[in-house]
Amino acid sequence: MVSGNSSPLSSPIDAAAQRALEQLVRPLSATQIAWLSGYLAQLAEQAVANAAEDEPAEVVTILFGSQSGNTKGLAEQLHTRAQADGIGTYLLSMAELAPRKLAKLQRVILLTSTHGEGEPPESAYALHAFVMDENAPRMESLQFAVIGLGDSSYEHYCQTAVDFDRRLAQLGARRMLPLQCCDVEYEADAQRWQTDVLGRLVALRAKRPATVAARPLEPSETAAPYTKENPYAATLLENRRITTPDAVADVRHLALGIDPRLVRYRPGDTLGVCFRNDPALVDRIVERLGLDASSPVSQDDGAQPLGQVLTERLELTQVHPTTVRRWSEHVQASRLQAIIADPAKLRDYARRRQLLDLITDFPASIDADVLSGLLPRLQPRLYSIASSQAELDDEVHLTVAVLRYRRSGQRRLGGASGFLAERLRPNDSLSVYPVHNPSFHLPTPSGVDIIMIGAGTGIAPYRGFLQDRAAAGDRGRNWLLFGNRHFQRDFLYQLDWQAQRKAGLLNRVSLAFSRDRAQKVYVQDRVRTEARELFRWLEEGAHLYVCGASAMGEAVHRALIDMVGREGGLQEDAATDYIDNLRREARYHRDLY
Amino acid sequence: MTSPLHENEAIKRFSNYLRGTLKASMADELTGALADDDAQITKFHGFYQQDDRDLRQARREHYLEPSFGFMLRARLPGGVCTTTQWLAIDGIGRALTAGSLRLTTRQSFQYHGILKRNVESVIRGINKVMIDSIGGCGDVNRNVLCNPNPVESPVHREVHGWAKRISEHLLPRTRAYHELWLDGEQVTGPADAEPLYGETYLPRKFKTAIAVPPHNDVDVYSNDLGFVAIIENGALLGFNVLAGGGMGVTHGDTSTFPRLADTLGFIAPEQTLAIAEAVVSLQRDVGDRRDRRHARLKYSVERMGVDAFRNEVERRAGCRLDPPREAVFTDQGDRYGWVQGDDERWHLTVYIENGRLVDRPGASPMRGLREIARVHQGDFRITPNQNLIIAGVPACQQARIDALAREHGLLAARHSRLRLNGLSCVALPTCPLAMAEAERYYPDFLSQIERLAEKHGIADQHIVNRITGCPNGCARPYLGELALVGKAPGRYNLMLGGDGVGTRLNRLYRENLDEPALLAEIDRLFARFAAGRRPGEGFGDFLIRDAVVAAVINPAEDFHAAN
C-alpha cells in the first residue's frame, strides 16, 4: 500500500514521512491496513473539505462525475497539467463533495459524462440533484467551467453537462469558459479545452498554495496510477465457466493475477480490460471488403498493416451510429438512408450490429485508409470487479457473460468477452487498469446494513463486498436479492453465497429465477414481495445497491418507489422523494450498464 | 460396554413427530437441498434427497451445488391403482419430475428428480387421487406387497384387502404429513402421539408382504413380516406368519447377512392386524438402535431365537399361533401376456425393462399406458417384479388394448427368458448408496449373457437373475439364481445358488469381478450347466448339486463362510 513505487504525482509524502509510514504499517495485518485506509480516507476528506472552506480563493477544485473512467482520466490529466503550471488544484469525485459545500467554493472545473436518457453518472447524482433543486442556494461567488463527455447519437447529448452549465449560471455563478461538449472521440477537443482552461486559470492568477493537498488518498491512488493509456499487464490465472452447459448464458469467472503493491482496488470498482479483436473476424472483414490485410494504413506512428490495425486499434464488434452514417456515404441504399434519417432507428440498428453485419447488409467498395478512418478507436471494456483484495490481494476477479449470438446464420462473438473467454489462455498477459468507482463502495464507517440487488453478472460486486466484509469483520447485515434465468443452471457463485451464509455473513437471500416457473419472476418482483422487510431495513439505515442492466435498474427503481409508497403509506410523489433522498444521502448506489 | 444410540434416533426424537425444521428447509431459497436432519425426516414422508451423481464434479467446478432432486415413493398397497389414479400419476410425472416413472420392486411407483420447489405440488397432486407417500421410505412399515394374482379375482380381492388394512393399521399417526404438504396450516387439536411407534418410530425400515402360493413373486421370505395366504376351495383360511427376513448386507462386515424369514405359525384372517402390530411393537422395543447395520428385525429374531420371538409375539397379540399349514411355491416371476381369470375377464402382463417407464424414439410406454388408461375399464397392478398388469379387461376390449400396447412398444419385442426373469435396482446416477451401475447397465449386460445362453443351448431356461448397485438389496439380489452385487464402478460380486422360487439364499462365488471376468465365469458356468443338468433342473439347483457353491443353510453362521 505504501510502496516505493508510488510516483511523485500520487504520493505527496516526502521520503522521511514515507519511511515513518512504512514502519507504522509493516506489522499490521491486511485487515488492520484496510481499516487504516478507511480511517485515513476520512481524515483526508475532512482536511480537503476544511481546506476548501478555509482557502477558497487560492485553490481551484476539479470535480468529476465519471462512470467509465474516461472523465476521471481527463480530470486527472487536467490536475497534473495544472500542478505543472503552478496552479493549485484539488481533484475530487463529485460523489466525494458534500453538495452544500459547492456554494462555498470559488473556482470549480466540472467534468461529467451523461448516461442513457440524459442521466448523470452515479457519482454525480447527488451534486446534480442539489444544483437542479428549485431551492438551490445562490452561488454568486462561484466561477466555473464545464466539460461534458457524451455521445451525439443520443437525444440528450451531454445533458448533464448542459444542466450544470445552465443551472450554475442561473444561480448567479460566473462562467470562466463556455460549455464544452465532447463526442465519442473526445481526445482532441478535450486537449484543446484543457489548454483553454489552464490559460484562463493562469490569467486569474491562481497561486499554488505552499502545501498542496491532493485529493483524499484511496488505496487505488496510492498504487501506481494505471490508466487505459498506461495499463497494467495482468496474468490470466483462471477461466472458469460458472453456468451449466445447458444455460442460455455462458458466464465465466476470470481470475487475473496482479502485483498487490502496484494494483489496488476496492470492491465496487471496475476493471478496464484492453483487448484485441478476433483475427478470424478481421480476416472475414478484410475478405468481404476485398482488401489486403498487409496493405499499409496511415496511423499516427506511421504506416501499419491493415490487419494489425483492425486487430489492435479499431472498434469492430460495436457499431457506433457515426460509423453507420459515415459508411452510408459510400453506399447507394435507400434502406440505409431511411435508417440514417431516423435517430431512433439508427441507434437501434447500430446497437444490434457488428461492423461485419453493416458491411454485409450494405456492401460497399472502399480502401483501407477510408475504412480505418470511419472506425472509432478500440476502447477498453469495463467489468465490475468480483473480488476483494482483503481476501486475495494478488488477484482480481471478473464475472463475464460471453456475448454470443447468430446473425444471418453466422456466429457472432462479443469483442472483449470473446477475447477473455475464448482467445486468452491461462498465463497469458492482458492489459487492465482499475477504475475507481466511489459511488459504489461499501458504506463507511462499518456496521451499516446493506441490501444488494443484482441480476445476471450484476451479482459480481457483491461477491467482493462480502469478501471484504468477512475480512474486515464488518457486522453490518447483508441481504442479497438476485435474479437470473434458472436456479439449476445459472445461480452465479451459488457455493460462495452458501459459504458466506454458513459463516454468518449473508443474513438474507431473495431469489428470482425467471424461467423456472410458468409465471416469470424478476428481481423487481422480489422487491415487491419483500416490501415490508426491505422498508424496515431502509428505515434502519441500510444502504441500497443495484447492479446490472439498465432496464433491470429502472424496473427495480420503480418497484422501490412502489414498495416505499405501500409500506410507508406515501403518495407517489412522496415515495419518489423518499427514494431520491436515499440517493442524495448516498445510500442508494447504482451501477448500471 | 454399550455404544451410544445412533444419531438418527435423536433426529427422530427431536423431530416433533416428523416435522423437524422442514418448513424452513423447504423455504430456503439458497439451496435445492434440505438441512441434514430434515433429509432424514423426509424419508418418513416418502421422499428421499438425491442428486445427479454424474453431474456432481462438473457442477462443483461451476461453483454450483449438486443437482439436487427428490425421489418420491408412493404408498400403494399391493400395487393396485385405478385408471384415474394412473392418469394423475403419469401427468404429475411428466409435469413436475424428471419425466419418467419407475415401477418399484415393492409394487409402487417412484418419481425421480423432483425439485424442492415442486415437492409440495407432487404430493398434493397424488393426494387428489387418494394416494399418499407416507412411509414410502423411513423407519416405519413400508409399502405392503401382495401377490397381484389377477386370475383368482375373489381371492385376490380378499387378500389385497388385508394388504391395505395392514398398511393402514401400521401407518404413522402424526399429522405432520397433512400439515406440511396438504393443509398448509397447523391444525389445532390434541397434541400428536404415535400409539404404536412412539416418537422414535422403528430402529430401521420394516417390510411386509403377502404371498399367495404357489407364486412367490413377492419374495415373501425377504420381508421382515410375511403372510402366506392359505386358500382352500377358493376361500381364504388364514395365513402362515413369517418373520425376520431381510436382504441388506454391508460389504466387508461379516456380522451382516441376508436372512430368510422364519415361519412362526398359522393364524386366522381376523388375527392378522393384531399379529402385525405385535411384531412391529416387539421390534420397536428390542431392535438395535445403536447400529443401523444391525437394526432390522432379522437380527432381533436371530438374537432372541425363533421360539422366544414367537412367544413374545403371541403374548403381545393375545393369541396363539397354530402350527403352520403346508404351502408350496413354484416361481418368483411374473406370467407375461394375456391370461383369462375366473371371472371371464382378461389380464395383460407387460414387461417393463427395469420398471422404467420413459418415452424414447421407437417406444412410448408412458404414452401407451396413458392411452390405455383412457379406455381401460379395469385397474392397473404393479407387480413385485417391476412389471405392470392391465387387469380386468372385458373380452370386448381386449383387441383394442392389445393394439394400443403393441403400438407403443409395450408388447413389441420378444424378450428372452433371462430378461423376463431379471430385476434391477435404480443405482446410478440418482441413488446416493450406489457403488456401481445397475439399471443403466443391465440391459446391455443381459444381451451378452443372452448370447452365452444361446451359445450353450439354454436360452429356454428360466434363470432368476438380479443386479443391484450396492449390497443393500433393493432388487432382492440374494434370492437370485445368478446375481450381481455392485462393489465399485464396473466391479461386482457374483452370487450364485438361489433356488428359483425364493426359498434359498445364494452365496458369494467370486468377488469384485469386472465385465470380462464376469462373462468368462458365466460362460464357464453355462457350459457346465448345459452339459450336466438333469431334466427340469434349475440353474441354481444344479450349481448346488454340482458343488459349484454350497447352499446357505444358516446365514448368520455360513453366509460368509468360504465357498
B161-219: pLDDT as tens digits: 999 999 999 999 999 999 999 987 665 666 789 999 999 999 999 999 999 999 999 99
A497-537: pLDDT as tens digits: 999 999 999 999 999 999 998 899 999 999 999 999 999 99
User: Which of A243, A495, A509 lies nearest to residue B29, judging by beta carbons?
Assistant: A509
Rounded-to-integer distance, Cα A388 and Cα A266, Å: 6
Q: Which residues of A touch B113 (CB under 8 A)?
A: none
Q: Tell me the count of A-B CB pairs closer than 8 A.
A: 46
Cross-chain residue pair A488–B32, CB shorter than 8 Å:
yes
Q: Which amino acid is at A43?
A: L
Rounded-to-integer distance, Cα A511 and Cα A522, Å: 8
Check if the beta carbon of residue B253 is closer than 8 Å to that of residue B270.
no
Cross-chain residue pair A509–B30, CB shorter than 8 Å:
yes
| Nearest C-alpha neighbor of B242 from the set B319, B325, B185 | B325
What is the average pLDDT value for chain A, to the nearest integer? 88
Q: Which residues of B touch A513 (CB under 8 A)?
A: none
Which grid cell is B256? 451382516
B113-133: pLDDT as tens digits: 999 999 999 999 999 999 999
Name the strands in the sheet holding B145-146, side by side, starting at the edge strand that comes first in the sequence: B145-146, B208-211, B225-232, B235-243, B262-267
Cross-chain residue pair B63–A487, CB shorter than 8 Å:
no
CA B556 to chain centre: 23
B68-73 vs B235-243, strand pairing mode: unpaired
B55-89: pLDDT as tens digits: 999 999 999 999 999 999 999 999 999 999 999 99
Q: Which A residues 15-74 touch B at CB under 8 Å? A: none
Three-state DSSP class for residue B233: coil
Q: What is the 3-state secondary structure (H, E, C) of B265-276?
A: EEECHHHHHHHH
Can you say whether the dihedral through the CA atoms of A127, A129, A135, A140 is positive or negative? positive
Residue A354 confidence (pLDDT):
93
The residue of A244, A487, A519 whose CB has the most chain B CBs within 10 angstroms, and thus the best one to mutate to test that interface, is A487
Q: What is the number of other CB atoms lying within 10 angstroms of the CB of residue A181?
A: 20
Q: What is residue B352's DSSP assignment?
A: -
Q: What is the ipTM of this complex?
A: 0.90
Q: With cut-offs at 50, 70 and 90, classify the pLDDT of residue A123.
A: confident
Beta bridge partners of B228: B211, B240
Distances (CA, A) of B355 to A511, B105, B122, B361: 37, 8, 20, 18
CA A304 to chain centre: 32
pLDDT greater than 80 at residue B495: yes
Establish if A583 touches chain B: CB-CB under 8 angstroms: no
Name the strands in the sheet holding A429-435, side by side, starting at the edge strand that comes first in the sequence: A381-384, A270-273, A429-435, A232-241, A250-257, A395-402
Establish if A491 touches chain B: CB-CB under 8 angstroms: yes
pLDDT greater than 90 at residue A204: no
Q: Is B207 a catalytic residue?
A: yes
Cross-chain residue pair A241–B62, CB shorter than 8 Å:
yes
Establish if A511 touches chain B: CB-CB under 8 angstroms: yes
Cross-chain residue pair A243–B62, CB shorter than 8 Å:
yes
Q: Which residues of B touch A506 (CB under 8 A)?
A: 30
B284-326: pLDDT as tens digits: 999 999 999 999 999 999 999 999 999 999 999 999 999 999 9
Distances (CA, A) of A494 to A497, A513, B433: 5, 13, 25
Q: With cut-offs at 50, 70 and 90, classify the pLDDT of residue A575.
A: very high
Rounded-to-integer distance, Cα A439 and Cα A423, Å: 33
The active-site residue, picked from B102, B175, B204, B205, is: B205
Check if the beta carbon of residue A267 is closer than 8 Å to that of residue A442.
yes
Residue entry with cell 436456479: A487
B80-82 vs B379-382, strand pairing mode: antiparallel
Check if the beta carbon of residue B481 is closer than 8 Å to that of residue B539.
yes
User: Which of A244, A487, A498 lies nearest to residue B62, judging by beta carbons?
Assistant: A244
User: Which of B29, B63, B67 lies nearest to residue A495, judging by beta carbons?
Assistant: B63
Q: What is the number of other CB atoms lying within 10 angstroms of the CB of residue A306?
A: 25
Helix (H) or strand (E) holding B302: helix B297-304
B223-247: pLDDT as tens digits: 999 999 999 998 999 999 999 999 9
Distance from CA of A269 to the nearest CA of B (A): 23
The active-site residue, picked from B425, B466, B504, B507, is: B425
Q: Which residues of B lie inside 8 Å of A (Cβ-Cβ)?
A: 29-32, 58-65, 67, 115, 117
For residue B67, the chain A residue with the least C-alpha distance is: A488
Strands (DSSP E) along B213-295, which ranges?
Answer: 225-232, 235-243, 262-267
User: Which of B29, B65, B115 lies nearest to residue A495, judging by beta carbons?
Assistant: B65
